Amino acid sequence: MACVADIRQSVIRGSRISLRPVRDSDIQTLFRWDSDEEIAKWAGKKFKTEEDAKDWYLSVHHLQKRSWIIETTDGNPIGEVEVTNISWRLHTGEIRIVIGEKSMWNQGLGEDAIRTCLSELFGSTSLKEVFLKVDSRNLRALRCYQKVGFRTEGKVKLLGDEDKPRSILLMRIAREDLLHGGAKGAYGT
């Protein structure tokens, strides 16, 4: 069985997208997506400068994180998906996705990208469960994750900005859920 080091260089093909490793020439685009206010509202802003983005995607190299560019079949980069906080002891990881080109939202490409990423991870590494955190108001993302087979396992109340409370949902998918269309979570979603 491959470890994550074996899969990081390969192109992974989905139905309507491909996942490929991040290149130096992607950094400007990744920084633009990270700086978009609407995207940052849901995904958070990570980088102050392009150098920060370069460090995150290209210099910081360890076995607990992998990132891919999501490309359409004609080779246009439209987003990124990454798996972080990988525990090879617990066989778990956390997934995060951004479709940075907003004109491409709501076409099923986010679902395709997550399925493609998880199929590869569950099929060729020892990962067995993947988690994610999502703002409970992010209905598009929630619907996307539910389509893949993620189920809500917990809810955390946060103070939020300007003392407006908000909730984060913790969602989970196991290897067999992806193959068999999902299991019921604690919140029944």
Ligand X SMILES: CC(C)(COP(=O)(O)OP(=O)(O)OC[C@H]1O[C@@H](n2cnc3c(N)ncnc32)[C@H](O)[C@@H]1OP(=O)(O)O)[C@@H](O)C(=O)NCCC(=O)NCCS
Contacts with ligand X, residue ranges (CB under 6 A): 39, 42-43, 97-99, 105-111, 134, 138-141, 143-144
Residue at shortest CB range from ligand X: 110
Q: Tell the smallest beta-carbon distance from residue 63 to ligand X (Å).
A: 24
Nearer to ligand X, 35 or 124 (CB): 35
Nearer to ligand X, 3 or 139 (CB): 139
Judge contact between 171 and 118, C-beta under 8 A: no
Helix ranges, the chain (H)? 4-7, 27-35, 37-43, 50-54, 109-124, 139-148, 175-180
Q: To which residue do tokens 């802003």 refer?
A: 45
What is the Cα–Cα distance from 128 to 151, expressed in whole angstroms? 15
Q: Tell the smallest beta-carbon distance from residue 45 to ligand X (Å).
A: 11
Q: Tell the smallest beta-carbon distance from residue 46 to ligand X (Å).
A: 12
Residue type, position 153, single letter: E
